Amino acid sequence: MANKAIVLSKSDPAGVTMLGAFRGMGFAEMDDPSLLRMGEVYLVVIDPLIVPAEEYKTPASPSPYPADLDGLARRLGVGYLVMASRHWSQSGRPCLTVHPTGNFGKAVFGGRPRELQRTLANPMRDVFMELSADPPRGFQVSLEATHHSPTQFETSMFFAEVGSGEGQWRDEAVCRYLAEAIVRGVRAEGEAPVAVGFGGGHYCPTFSVMERETAFGHVAAKYALDLLTDELYGQMVERTMDGVDFAALDGGLKGWERRRVEVALARLGVPIR
């Protein structure tokens, strides 16, 4: 079984809470205090926020931001990274989410504009399934559409988050649930058909249900469809690194939206189910 790696930030209150949970699970510091390990699973603790806090402002240092994640992955011998992070929303609703990263338009919170980060659909689904098993009371578990940074790394990654405010970020029981689900998920190594998704809301209500049988990679929510170009359609497919079997279209798409997606996917040879 290959090594696994989870990344969290000491500048993130949810990251700090999860760090305590991971230590309680048996993760122990190695010679480098920023690196902990439990069996084949590494935990990497970085200083800066994984996603910049300010809109349109990515700190110049460290570069690459938030760390040399490709160098880290090579050094640890891992094929992908799970970014354990806070989730924020205006609604403040308690939630546990997973999602790939990338910018269909402007780079509002880090990364590069019109660039999608490489991701892996099946490991992300494994974590989603563990989160869905017995979530804390009042917490919604969902897939989110592709959004925010990072975008520029060769190493595949996805986010696993707890939200949506301070109360949840500092809740030790909830953060422990997320930490345990991540570890079980990265060890699961499940296999399901892989899809990219188009349409629906940001929290992917249709695709979250489908996630039980289908592993979703990149998802363009309805609000992002007007931003899609042939290049971005290609990135959605090519940067879902475990291979795309088909595309799923939300039933709420208008006729002209559906036709435009169908034409683009036909050019790429991606069937629609």
pLDDT for 2: 81
How would you classify residue 11: left for phi > 0, otherwise alpha for psi between -120 and 50, otherwise beta? Answer: alpha
CATH topology assigned to domain 3-191: Aminopeptidase (3.40.630)
Give the pLDDT mean for 221-232.
98
Q: pLDDT tens, 31-49?
A: 898 999 999 999 999 999 9
Q: pLDDT tens, 147-156?
A: 999 999 999 9
**C-alpha dihedral (248, 151, 15, 78), degrees to nearest 10:** 90
Kindly state the tokens that stand for 74: 């090579």
Task: Place 90 in a pLDDT band, splitting at 50, 70 and 90.
Answer: confident
Percent of the chain exceeding pLDDT 70 equals 100
* 247/255 Cα distance (integer angstroms): 16
* 170/26 Cα distance (integer angstroms): 20
Does pTM top 0.75 for this prediction? yes
Burial class (CB in 10 A: 0-12, 13-18, 19+), 11: middle
* 20/9 Cα distance (integer angstroms): 12
Is residue 179 predicted with pLDDT exceeding 60? yes
> 81 or 91: whose pLDDT is higher?
81
- Count of positions (residues) in the chain: 273
Dump the DSSP string for 56-81. Answer: T---SSSSSSS--HHHHHHHHTEEEE
Domain ranges of the chain: 3-191
Residues 6+ apart with CB under 8 A from 53: none
